[in-house]
A and B are shown apart, each in its own frame.
Chain A
Amino acid sequence: MNGILFELLLPLLIAIPLGGAFLIALIARKVRVLADIFGNLATLAILIIAVMLFRERGVYSIGGWAPPLGISWVLDGLSNLMVVIIALVSFTATVFSTQYMEQYTAKYKYYSLFLLMVAGMNGVVLTGDMFNLFVFLEVASVASYALVAFGGRHEELEAAFKYLVLASIGSTLILFGIAFLYGATGYLNMGAIADAVSGAIASGQPSPLLVLAAVFFVVGFGVKAALVPFHPWLPDAHPSAPAPISAMLSGVLIKALGIYALARVFFNVLGMTPLLGWILIVVGALSMVVGVFLAVGQWDFKRLLAYHSISQMGYVILGIGLGGYVLAIGGNRQAATLAILGGVFHLANHSVFKSLLFLCSGSIEYRTGTRQLKEMGGLLEKMPVTRATCTIASLSIAGVPPFNGFWSKLIIVIAAFQAGFPWLAAITILVSFVTLLSFIKVLRYAFLGKLPDALKQIRESPALMALSLVILAVFCTGMGLILVPGFRQLILDPAVGALAQGVEYARGALAIAGGH
């Protein structure tokens, strides 16, 4: 039924990071360089496998138990896209870490936790089972709590504790939501739940249990994605982590655990309703505005980036929510798919440029020892690679034409007009403008101006760190090409299709069960 490639390689997406983590903890304790080698090899292998699997689609029943009975992996367009993004960002982050993490002790623990986080995220985006989603969400979360506290200083411990408490409350709410779904339907498989739920809705009033479950999911995944009423942990946790971890957290973790899971559950399992669409639109718009205005006043480089993450997540949720709303009221389907496309594309873009920005901040911090913009200045000649890549990423996030951020924002604006929400388009443009101002400030203070005397001796960052910056910058520049027709059909359209099909997802997810 499925190709041999699919059958053999898909399990490795989980097994390699997990096995790598166990192996590193087992044998790399004494020899630091082994941890480097294993960590980088593992992420490289995941990247290669993710690309090889890119065109594969299908359902994999783990242990040979057909879907409703056992757990299954469902590989569709959206999962594929997420897996590739996770693999790309984690590969560049490990390359960056080999030299950056020399500052810390216990490097093997770092790599082991890093790979566990990757395994957790891969598990979340591949799974087709609600409870399994929760389990792997916890794998990734627990590893990230520990990584935020890795430096062991005052602020890091405080941020990690805050993050742990809020995110654990979120996880518990998600588990309660899953319990409600189980109590209402008797299944845990996403496809089977979708079937049962749409049946219940078609036959009359949906059970209040489902409503309560939806509320719990919004709050739980909202905490993980740091949407605005639930965001307070993010501006503390993301800057406190070591730079490669900040890049992973902002770049992929909040997307895989928050946005992806939210979109998957609401589009494909519970089914989109107009009310839910509205909630997502409002939350998205709120995140955009609040995030960007809080970011403007920041002088700590990483903290500023973290607030921008909240704002940019708002774009993604806005696009996805708008699409869901239009689909749910049965409106213009073309506008709806365009909005979702904008959201998904912005998700991909954001993970590239935001991880690049965080790695740049790490590179600057590595050489200058500070994160305060006011203490920098004049790094223009001293750190040319960092300067160039940081400029590219800043222009991307601000939505300046040739770079990737521009295209996805443009699509969201067009979709908002087409769907009949000009005021949303106006907010989007306004927020984009404020973002631009904020990043002009960053470039002005970090790279122009007078070099402080304390920083006369600095050099460009080590080669491997610069290499990972360059890789991401190339993607930043080139990702606009994805919109060229051939690539778009290959990469983005399947991902959009996976969401836009709504509860039809059940057909695919239960395919092996013989049409259930």
Chain B
Amino acid sequence: MVYALCFVLFVVGLYCALTKKNVVKIVIGLVIMEYGVNLFLVLLGYRREGIAPILDEKIGPLEFLARAVDPLPQALVVTSIVIGLGVTTLAIALCIRLYEKYGTFDITEIRRLKG
């Protein structure tokens, strides 16, 4: 159920990126898609009654092994969030430049290339 809703979030983003006419909306769609994937990865690693994968002196190693949530997806998601930030920054820069050139964010008017 949780997975399914997360997938729905992803699909909403995909819908936005594929159908919207405004370049900023398209970028927002890309960001929502990326949120969906990130959340899915972290959901994969969750353990019921889990604890964060950070050791301190109070907890024993065996208990930690049995109870900590999966650290690997979390590390992957840190990477993926930052990659998403990078791509979005570049996309925003392109949007600003497109606005400067065409005077609009509307993609139906940004259409000099054929086909």
Q: Report if A and B touch in the complex (beta carbons < 8 A).
A: yes
Residues 113-156 of A, flagged 1 when their CB comes within 8 A of B and 0 if not, give 00000000000000000010001001000100110010011110
B48 within 8 A of A: no
- The answer to whether A145 and B97 touch across the interface, beta carbons within 8 angstroms, is no
B76 within 8 A of A: yes
Chain A minimum-CB-distance residue to B23: A161
- The answer to whether A179 and B87 touch across the interface, beta carbons within 8 angstroms, is no
- Known contacts A135-B79, A161-B23, A183-B44, A154 near B102 by CB under 8 Å: yes
- The answer to whether A165 and B72 touch across the interface, beta carbons within 8 angstroms, is no
CB distance from B7 to the nearest CB of A (A): 9
Total residues of chain B contacting the partner, CB 8 A: 34
- The answer to whether B90 and A164 touch across the interface, beta carbons within 8 angstroms, is yes
Give residues of chain B (65-115) contacting chain A, Cβ–Cβ below 8 Å. 72-73, 76, 79-80, 83, 86-87, 90-91, 94-95, 97-98, 101-102, 110-113, 115
Q: Kindly list chain A residues whose C-beta atoms are within 8 Å of the C-beta of B97.
A: 149, 152, 157
Chain A minimum-CB-distance residue to B80: A175
Q: How far is the CA of A175 from the CA of B79 in the complex (A)?
A: 12
Q: How far is the CA of A179 from the CA of B94 in the complex (A)?
A: 29
A172 within 8 A of B: yes
- The answer to whether A146 and B90 touch across the interface, beta carbons within 8 angstroms, is yes
CB distance from A507 to the nearest CB of B (A): 24
Say which residue of A146, A175, A183 sits within 8 Å of B37 (CB atoms). A175
- Known contacts A179-B44, A182-B73, A155 near B113 by CB under 8 Å: yes
Residues 12-44 of B, flagged 1 when their CB comes within 8 A of A and 0 if not, give 001001100001001000100110010011001
A504 within 8 A of B: no
- Known contacts A142-B90, A165-B30, A182-B41, A157 near B101 by CB under 8 Å: yes
- The answer to whether B113 and A169 touch across the interface, beta carbons within 8 angstroms, is no
- The answer to whether B87 and A157 touch across the interface, beta carbons within 8 angstroms, is no
Q: Kindly list chain B residues whose C-beta atoms are within 8 Å of the C-beta of A145.
A: 90, 94
- Known contacts A169-B14, A169-B17, A182-B41, A235 near B115 by CB under 8 Å: yes
**Chain A: interface size category:** 20 to 34
A375 within 8 A of B: no
- The answer to whether A176 and B90 touch across the interface, beta carbons within 8 angstroms, is no
- The answer to whether B113 and A159 touch across the interface, beta carbons within 8 angstroms, is yes
CB distance from A450 to the nearest CB of B (A): 28
A160 within 8 A of B: yes
Q: How far is the CA of A453 from the CA of B113 in the complex (A)?
A: 28
Q: How far is the CA of A179 from the CA of B23 in the complex (A)?
A: 28
Q: Kindly list chain B residues whose C-beta atoms are within 8 Å of the C-beta of A142.
A: 86-87, 90
Chain B minimum-CB-distance residue to A169: B17
Chain B minimum-CB-distance residue to A294: B115
Q: How far is the CA of A155 from the CA of B97 in the complex (A)?
A: 12
Say which residue of B34, B94, B112 sits within 8 Å of A149 (CB atoms). B94
Q: Kindly list chain B residues whose C-beta atoms are within 8 Å of the C-beta of A135.
A: 79, 83
Q: Kindly list chain A residues whose C-beta atoms are within 8 Å of the C-beta of B115.
A: 232, 235, 294
Chain B minimum-CB-distance residue to A174: B37
- The answer to whether A138 and B14 touch across the interface, beta carbons within 8 angstroms, is no
A460 within 8 A of B: no
- The answer to whether A154 and B112 touch across the interface, beta carbons within 8 angstroms, is yes
Q: Kindly list chain A residues whose C-beta atoms are within 8 Å of the C-beta of B91.
A: 161, 164-165, 168
- The answer to whether A172 and B94 touch across the interface, beta carbons within 8 angstroms, is no
Q: Kindly list chain B residues whose C-beta atoms are within 8 Å of the C-beta of A76.
A: none
Q: Kindly list chain A residues whose C-beta atoms are within 8 Å of the C-beta of B40.
A: 176, 179
CB distance from B40 to the nearest CB of A (A): 6
Say which residue of A160, A168, A188 sits within 8 Å of B30 (CB atoms). A168
A36 within 8 A of B: no
CB distance from B24 to the nearest CB of A (A): 11
Residues 161-189 of A, flagged 1 when their CB comes within 8 A of B and 0 if not, give 10011001101100110010011000010
Q: Kindly list chain B residues whose C-beta atoms are within 8 Å of the C-beta of A172.
A: 30, 33-34, 37
Q: Kindly list chain A residues whose C-beta atoms are within 8 Å of the C-beta of B14.
A: 169
Chain A minimum-CB-distance residue to B70: A186
Q: Which of B14, B76, B79 has the most CB of A within 10 A?
A: B76
Q: Kindly list chain B residues whose C-beta atoms are within 8 Å of the C-beta of A179.
A: 37, 40-41, 44, 73
- The answer to whether A161 and B98 touch across the interface, beta carbons within 8 angstroms, is yes
20 sample A-B contacts, Cβ–Cβ < 8 Å, listed by A number: A131-B79, A154-B102, A157-B98, A158-B112, A158-B113, A159-B113, A161-B91, A161-B94, A161-B95, A161-B110, A164-B90, A165-B17, A165-B30, A165-B91, A169-B30, A176-B37, A179-B37, A179-B40, A182-B72, A236-B113
Chain B residues in contact with chain A, CB under 8 A? 10, 14, 17-18, 23, 26, 30, 33-34, 37, 40-41, 44, 72-73, 76, 79-80, 83, 86-87, 90-91, 94-95, 97-98, 101-102, 110-113, 115
- Known contacts A153-B101, A182-B72; can you find 16 more A-B pairs with CB under 8 A? A131-B76, A138-B83, A161-B95, A161-B98, A161-B110, A165-B91, A168-B87, A168-B91, A172-B30, A172-B34, A175-B37, A176-B40, A179-B41, A179-B44, A232-B115, A235-B115
Chain A residues in contact with chain B, CB under 8 A? 131, 135, 138, 142, 145-146, 149, 152-155, 157-161, 164-165, 168-169, 171-172, 175-176, 179, 182-183, 188, 232, 235-236, 294
Closest 9 CB pairs of A and B: A183-B44, A172-B33, A161-B94, A236-B113, A179-B41, A154-B101, A138-B83, A175-B37, A176-B37
